[in-house]
Structure 1
């Protein structure tokens, strides 16, 4: 009964908002709440120079703070020449603003050079938490990203202050060279990350490569305070383990924008796209005095990459008031011994802070299997159920194709049922509103026998994460692990590997989700490793029937349906934008 009422409520809410939508000219009388200007140029990072895409002149871009239940308009300028752009609001559901999800293969045409686009963002009540924004074009997100915080109307946990730790990779090679190599014949790998940055800062791992001034990130604390530390995994490739020297009292309270019951940990594992909030009690004055008497004036955040051919280590400094602000040298000996990859870390352990209507197995209407495989020949591609999505497929944003009357792109539900959930013609996964899906992402050996880890991210709605394991998914055995627990909702979780190689095509690990299908639309699902996305490791959900997906009248959205259309502004034209929510 609760799930039926929830579905009715969502449907009525959506219809109500659609009924009230209006087109508005965003002329000089319209003032956006936030302005992001995206440019490209040489920046200095970790004592090295790189040509990078940046937001408001910096990488990471400025922190954005929104309020749950409040509508905000974010104007994004593409000030670059010869480069397209979008901006995705990672983890936020854009169900009522379908053209604002920022995905050029699913929801919107890219913002053309010297154009701008106004994104309508309305975090609903209950979506407060830690997110981030990033470009969804090519490899741009390696540098074009920034923290996005949705503030609570009422905090469920009390603390004295907040700190944000935004993790990024640094690659010496440029975006263009990396993208070209990943899609060329013969294939050319990007190389491994040159550094993991904290809030845009880092010291060179090789002192001989230093070519300018640089510094370690500094995280400042006051004694005897309780802090909320928000960790954002905005890395392109790196899956990391991390911890604080002398501070092993972290307590997880939020994951991917969902509050959890407090869960104590000594360290974190963070993959690309994942976010965590922890409560951390800072040291007392007595503890600081004792440590300083023993020669410890600063502490380190230690970060180590995992599941790559070699492990790389980076640091940031944790500094208390009264400590020296001089640059700390990188420790000669790591202060922490961080565990190697913990397979299934936190699976079956986290609990939602409040009941979240977790669907039981008896409610599941259908099981969908997404089988991922790497195909190795002169080129290397990633495929889901035998197909990949690249810049050559589809030829236009999927939602645009549907609004333009190319109804052959609507996936066949019958065909999908017969093929594990995917319609092979459209390479999409359809579902009907009201279904409860169990989604199994199955890792397999590549055609050369190799294996990799994949942080899988879903747009549109958060799913219930129901665990992971080795080999092939076994619903009976997994139900035993789920007995008596209520899993949390996530938007990004790790598909692990349980060995470095196996037989080609052999099942070698799985990740499973459950999802109540309540939100009509076209939503991407993909590995959040940027290299893997470029190599084809992405596809879309198509939720709802034609009427439900194309709920907005054609005349009101036609400005969104062409590249550089009327919904996109430039120096000579104000955009005509659809408002789905009243502006607060």
Structure 2
């Protein structure tokens, strides 16, 4: 990769060093014609049909949905250029599961850290994955409902050899299809009264899907997963759905889980998977030495929704078909109902953890209470406050730099209000704290309950498990001691233990533990796109004002602080950006670049 650096601006404000990377002084650079990004993603909107459903406006990445598979290696810095080729919509690209602490404006979150990319502009994202975080991730837009289709797989390969042997790895990427287009869905979710998106009309596997939705058959063509007898395949399951909490299994084949959300686990055998939106698993599938037939089905079903959506794919031992495979006439499998707490206490780190924070180290417990409120528009609130694309009026990190509409969150106010500063609506934390974050499910204004896959940006947390009613730290600690060390995750399920209850009743919790080490502005949110748009997302500020804003001075990052600023390129100008990390590489690729 070649770089031309103009008026290098050595930044004296940041000398952060961490175990996986020693950061040199960040430098300004102009990404002109001599700069070659490691990968290019071009985002467009086109009218296409998916599965059995009529053509509608759909956000695509490099012309497809899902977009191209992107592979990078841990320990190397990459630059990925995202073009917004849409005429009238903003865009960001979020690298789901990756910590972006080294590049604070590159997390791709318009509410938290980055102005969105204007129409017909592009933005160069700086990505560095620390050693030890190889695994399965994905990318998606973080604007509106675009992630339902503007998304694709992101694989981080090991610096050395994988701890598990397999002959080949393959992607199993799950997505939803809705009858309405994305703009109509988004407008309905913020309307008063609410106009619901409708349920998923089909669950796609690698962009294709047929089966049934609410009893209506869909005989669309199916994706094939090509295998050979007597081999071991690493299947990388990616929950890229918008709404669907999926249960899935292969006909006459079991799985051995080896990775969850970018962390290797001790092997765990299972006949099925549950996977919520945002979650990822790797599992080994050992093919039959002498298969009894050439094709076996993968069956996928929605859970915890008022209607059942069922889709299929084909595990193909034979020749590649000349005509498409279609859904089976008879169900090959009976999948289990929801298993609450699925894998919560069964998955353990492959290697003994060195930095798991004990209960004695916890400095503060924050309970984040989620609730559906119906007062005019239907919204989701956390500790009584929503966070939407209209609040605040600019990205929170940008607002802090500009000293604009929102002040830096007050720890004093937060401590007096269950962890949240009611003025900024942010949750502050100090560097060095060990937080126990409890996410509490409650009955809605009208009594309903839902499930929520909660995702954290910025850092992975130690997942302490889940349960009914209200969190009891002492009893859960006994459970952890009995089962063994939990694993680190970035997306885990908050379950419901009934479909309805009385307004405000506690019914279901999820607990995390995290060491606060990296200053920054990060989101924690439900990854169901409908719920996010309706306010089910929060902002967390790690570090004090000097630690967060002292990373880089205002003059050097001025181009990040305005919509369409100088860090955004277009056909008439090259972007001028800040390089935050060393170890730049040029071996990222997409499968159709």
TM-score category (smaller protein): over 0.9
Matched, 1:336 2:341: no
1:280 corresponds to which of 285, 289, 297 = 285
2:168 corresponds to which of 161, 173, 177 = 161
Aligned-partner Cα distance in 2 for 1:208–1:196: 14
SS of the residue corresponding to residue 331 of structure 1 reads coil
Which position in structure 2 is the counterpart of 1:462? Answer: 460
Which position in structure 2 is the counterpart of 1:516? Answer: 515
Is contact 2:24-2:581 (8 Å) kept?
A: no
Q: Matched residue pairs, number?
A: 564
Is contact 2:456-2:491 (8 Å) kept?
A: yes
Is contact 1:105-1:398 (8 Å) kept?
A: yes
Which position in structure 1 is the counterpart of 2:63? Answer: 57
Which position in structure 1 is the counterpart of 2:576? Answer: 576
Deviations 1:266-298 (A, max 9, x none): 10000000000001100112xx1xx23xxxx31
Deviations 1:170-203 (A, max 9, x none): 0110111101110011210000000000110112
1:353 corresponds to which of 347, 350, 353 = 350
Which position in structure 2 is the counterpart of 1:5? Answer: none
Residues 1:425 and 1:231: Cα distance change in structure 2 (over 3 Å): same
Which position in structure 2 is the counterpart of 1:493? Answer: 492
Deviations 1:528-550 (A, max 9, x none): 00000000000111000111101
Larger deviation: 336-345 or 413-422?
A: 413-422
Structure 2: runs of 5+ lacking an equivalent:
1-14, 586-593
Aligned-partner Cα distance in 2 for 1:434–1:16: 19
Residues 1:316 and 1:408: Cα distance change in structure 2 (over 3 Å): closer
- Over the aligned positions, Cα root-mean-square deviation in angstroms equals 1.8
Which position in structure 1 is the counterpart of 2:81? Answer: 75
Matched, 1:271 2:270: no
Aligned-partner Cα distance in 1 for 2:514–2:390: 30
Is contact 1:46-1:204 (8 Å) kept?
A: no
Aligned-partner Cα distance in 2 for 1:564–1:362: 47
Which position in structure 1 is the counterpart of 2:556? Answer: 556
Aligned-partner Cα distance in 1 for 2:158–2:143: 31
Shift of 1:499: 0.1
**Which structure 2 residues correspond to residues 160-559 of structure 1 after superposition, within 5 A?**
160-203=167-210, 205=212, 214-248=220-254, 250-285=255-290, 288=291, 291-292=292-293, 297-322=294-319, 326-356=323-353, 357-406=355-404, 409-484=407-482, 485-550=484-549, 551-559=551-559
Residues 1:209 and 1:221: Cα distance change in structure 2 (over 3 Å): closer
SS of the residue corresponding to residue 372 of structure 2 reads strand
Deviations 1:114-154 (A, max 9, x none): 10000011111011000000000000000000000000122
SS of the residue corresponding to residue 212 of structure 2 reads coil
Which position in structure 2 is the counterpart of 1:23? Answer: 28
SS of the residue corresponding to residue 401 of structure 1 reads helix
Aligned-partner Cα distance in 1 for 2:247–2:322: 26
Deviations 1:228-256 (A, max 9, x none): 000000000000000000102x1100000
Aligned-partner Cα distance in 1 for 2:386–2:22: 35
Is contact 2:210-2:326 (8 Å) kept?
A: no
Deviations 1:72-97 (A, max 9, x none): 11000000011000000000000010
Aligned-partner Cα distance in 2 for 1:325–1:332: 20
Larger deviation: 22-31 or 400-409?
A: 400-409
Structure 1: runs of 5+ lacking an equivalent:
1-9
Deviations 1:54-110 (A, max 9, x none): 000000000000000011110000000110000000000000101000000001000
1:128 corresponds to which of 124, 134, 149 = 134
Is contact 1:104-1:397 (8 Å) kept?
A: yes
Is contact 1:90-1:134 (8 Å) kept?
A: yes
Q: TM-score, normalised by structure 2?
A: 0.93
Q: As a proportion of its length, which structure holds more helix?
A: 1
Shift of 1:311: 1.4
Aligned-partner Cα distance in 1 for 2:196–2:567: 37
Shift of 1:325: 5.2
Aligned-partner Cα distance in 2 for 1:329–1:148: 28
Q: TM-score, normalised by structure 1?
A: 0.94
